[in-house]
Structure 1
């Protein structure tokens, strides 16, 4: 049974685990959001501790939703993660193209944004 759940929800589990890891990294290294120029646009929108905890909380909620097969948890968490990853992607593209600060993070964050968008569309 768990094998089928993992195979059917693999993308969601990957996004959840990546989000938890990213949130945990931002929590344990707060200087990343505070000092790195690539996070300048994001810090204007939302303050740093909120973003780190949002990634962590919604990643955990996505996994709990998958384990409990709770549609509401799965939908709410994946839309929140889609929003967060899309916001980060957009922010990094703004830094790269508008502020002329070269960074590859926009392309890297685009992958979980697209995958979570696909999952969000399939969950609705």
Structure 2
């Protein structure tokens, strides 16, 4: 997997994914498949200025600091967020280009084939 998230690939309905593309996407979707991580991503993305201090995230959950750190590490390793240390705190932001690529992979193709298949 690249450091910037999944490699750019064509929509699922346009052509089959390569093994590498499937592995990259699976890692990102696995990271998003956990409710805590999905909520963390949403909290970061919707926070004022598009970034959140880890101190703002830990109070939202009834989880230990190390558990929150683990979930943030999984999101970071999947290429969904980036962190920047400022003094004693780390500030996280969502990497919008990765979310855009994920949306592009899942988006129906211009041919409309995916819409017809999805309704069958």
Same-fold call, TM cutoff 0.5:
no
More relative contact order, 1 or 2 (CA 8 Å, 6+ apart): 2
Task: Compare the two structures and name the one with the higher strand fraction.
Answer: 2
Task: Compare the two structures and name the one with the higher helix fraction.
Answer: 1
Sort the TM-score into its range (normalised by shorter chain).
under 0.3
Q: Report the structure number with the largest CA radius of gyration.
A: 2
